[in-house]
């Protein structure tokens, strides 16, 4: 039973907004673009691995948590791709979507990727990642006085990955091997260590201490393009508010929804709170009255009165209905 669904990672959402609003000519653009592509690739691989769980015959009493995040004892966010809880053992899965050849060097704790274009990239060793996650879950179980065995594995979600030198400490294999590996684990750990009630306590506690990463890009906010941006034009053209709609300066396309998309960008890049004045400036609306009418029409929650009033942009702003 899935108790935590995989959502698009917050950092990926921020990067999407950032790339929409950073001019391609800025020197930081390629850095953020690379980050974006890497993260998106990882996310696609994780979605692929989530589907694989449908094919696995599991005991009725189990819980699956996808993209679990919590704070470790040092105050950093630990992000675990997949956790499976059962009455027999806990299983932690690290998913890698990498093309080319990969090699683990246990002595040097090095993880290298020879890419298709013959360049070599070095990444954080997934074995160290899995072991860190195991320690985190062990620490949490100690608090609850629950002592299930914990095992981990690394899967490669890209069928073209060539696994060269294998890791010695943690099993690593292609995604197609997940099914038989989980079966093997259920055979190996066949004793019920905890009751279903204890298992549920562990699941509830993990969900209670879930804490999402609140990543902020290191960039001068003045560099970001404000307001509504045309999606049809490739050159980040400005859209002007005109009688209930936004009109592109360049191609004259009309849009209403761009209001919500731009507010989501505002939330992700600037703040979830916005005053009428900030709203007016952001969208370059010349009339304070027009700006006020528009922000009021969204029926956003707010705090403060009159001039000090600020409105809250919720994370589901895209689902709002525009009049």
* Footprint of Zn ion (CB under 5 A): 230, 232-233, 237, 248, 250-251, 253
Smallest gap, in angstroms, from Cβ of residue 246 to Zn ion? 10
Smallest gap, in angstroms, from Cβ of residue 256 to Zn ion? 15
Q: How many CB atoms lie within 10 A of CB 146?
A: 18
Which residue's CB is nearer to Zn ion, number 76 or number 235? Answer: 235
Nearest to residue 65, comparing CAs of 208, 185, 207? 207
Measuring CA to CA, how many Å separate 247 from each of 47, 80, 238?
37, 43, 8
Smallest gap, in angstroms, from Cβ of residue 234 to Zn ion? 9
Which residue's CB is nearer to Zn ion, number 238 or number 282? Answer: 238
Smallest gap, in angstroms, from Cβ of residue 253 to Zn ion? 5
Structure token pair of residue 93 = 């899965």
CA–CA separation, 34 vs 30, rounded Å?
A: 6
CA–CA separation, 132 vs 126, rounded Å?
A: 10
Which residue's CB is nearer to Zn ion, number 201 or number 253? Answer: 253
Which residue's CB is nearer to Zn ion, number 99 or number 237? Answer: 237
CA–CA separation, 160 vs 168, rounded Å?
A: 22
**Helix 29-52 × helix 10-21 angle, to 10°:** 140
Smallest gap, in angstroms, from Cβ of residue 223 to Zn ion? 21
Which residue's CB is nearer to Zn ion, number 44 or number 254? Answer: 254
Measuring CA to CA, how many Å separate 18 from each of 31, 33, 233, 274?
12, 9, 17, 18
Which residue's CB is nearer to Zn ion, number 170 or number 248? Answer: 248
Smallest gap, in angstroms, from Cβ of residue 238 to Zn ion? 9
H helices of 155-313, in order, are: 178-188, 196-208, 258-269, 276-282, 288-297
């Amino acid at each position: 039973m899935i108790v935590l669904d995989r959502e698009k990672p917050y950092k990926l959402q921020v990067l999407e907004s950032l790339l929409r609003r950073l001019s391609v000519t800025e020197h930081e653009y390629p850095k953020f673009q690379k980050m974006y592509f890497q993260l998106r690739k990882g996310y696609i691989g994780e979605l692929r691995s989530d589907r694989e769980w449908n094919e696995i015959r599991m005991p009725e009493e189990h819980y699956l948590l996808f993209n679990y995040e919590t704070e470790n004892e040092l105050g950093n966010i630990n992000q675990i791709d997949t956790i499976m809880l059962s009455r027999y053992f806990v299983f932690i899965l690290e998913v890698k979507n990498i093309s080319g050849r990969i090699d683990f060097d246990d002595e040097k704790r090095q993880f290298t990727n020879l890419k298709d274009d013959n360049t070599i990239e070095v990444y954080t060793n997934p074995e160290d990642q899995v072991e860190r996650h195991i320690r985190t879950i062990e620490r949490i179980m100690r608090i609850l006085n629950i002592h299930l065995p914990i095992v981990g594995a690394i899967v490669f979600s890209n069928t073209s990955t060539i696994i060269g030198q294998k890791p010695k400490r943690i099993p690593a294999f292609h995604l197609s091997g997940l099914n038989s590996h989980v079966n093997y684990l259920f055979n190996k750990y066949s004793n019920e260590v905890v009751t279903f009630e204890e298992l549920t306590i562990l699941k509830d506690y993990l969900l209670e201490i879930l804490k999402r990463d609140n990543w902020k890009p290191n960039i001068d906010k003045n560099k970001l393009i404000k307001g509504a941006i045309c999606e049809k034009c490739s050159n980040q053209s400005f859209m002007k508010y005109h009688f209930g709609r936004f009109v592109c300066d360049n191609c004259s396309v009309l849009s209403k929804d761009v209001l919500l998309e731009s507010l989501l960008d505002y939330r992700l890049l600037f703040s979830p709170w916005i005053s009428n004045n900030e709203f007016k400036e952001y969208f370059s609306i010349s009339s304070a009255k027009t700006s006020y009418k528009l922000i009021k029409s969204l029926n956003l929650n707010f705090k403060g009165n009159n001039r000090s009033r600020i409105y809250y942009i919720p994370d589901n702003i895209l689902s709002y209905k525009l009049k």
